[in-house]
Amino acid sequence: MSSLSPIWELIKLELKLEWRMKYALAGAILYVFTTIFVLYTTLQNEQTIPWNALFWMVALFITVNAVTKSFASSGSSDNLYLYQLSSAHQVIIAKIIYNLFLVFALLLLSYAAFSLFIVNPIQHNNLFLLTIFLGSIGFSLVLTFVSAISNKTKNNAVFMAILGFPLIIPIILSLVKLTEKALESSSKEYLNDIAILAAIDFILFGVILILFPFLWKD
| Residue 194 reports pLDDT greater than 50 | yes
The amino acid at residue 28 is: A
Q: At 158, is the pLDDT very low, low, confident or very high (cuts 50, 70, 90)?
A: low
| pLDDT in the model for residue 103 | 92
| pLDDT in the model for residue 43 | 59
Among the listed residues 137, 134, 152, 147, the one whose alpha carbon sits nearest the alpha carbon of residue 193: 134
Give Cα 54 to chain centroid, integer Å.
16
Distance between CA atoms of residues 110 and 114, nearest Å? 6
Average pLDDT over residues 136-147: 89
Instruction: State the angle between helix axes of 88-117 and 125-150 in degrees (0 to 180), rounded to the nearest 10.
Output: 130
For the chain, what is the mean pLDDT? Answer: 76
Residue 39 CA: distances (Å) to CA of 33, 35, 49, 91, 122: 10, 6, 10, 38, 18
Q: At 23, is the pLDDT very low, low, confident or very high (cuts 50, 70, 90)?
A: very low
| Residue 124 reports pLDDT greater than 70 | yes
Average pLDDT over residues 78-99: 74
Q: At 1, is the pLDDT very low, low, confident or very high (cuts 50, 70, 90)?
A: very low
Average pLDDT over residues 175-182: 88
- 162 versus 144: which is more confidently predicted? 144
Compute the chain's Rg from CA coordinates: 18
| Residue 205 reports pLDDT greater than 90 | yes
Residue/partner pairs of 211-214 with CB below 8 Å, 24 or more apart? 211/145, 212/88, 212/89, 212/91, 212/92, 212/145, 212/148, 213/87, 213/88, 213/89
Residue 154 CA: distances (Å) to CA of 59, 69, 163: 27, 15, 14
Terminus-to-terminus CA distance in the chain, angstroms? 28
Average pLDDT over residues 2-7: 63
| pLDDT in the model for residue 38 | 58
Distance between CA atoms of residues 4 and 9, nearest Å? 9
| Residue 70 reports pLDDT greater than 60 | yes
Average pLDDT over residues 173-189: 81
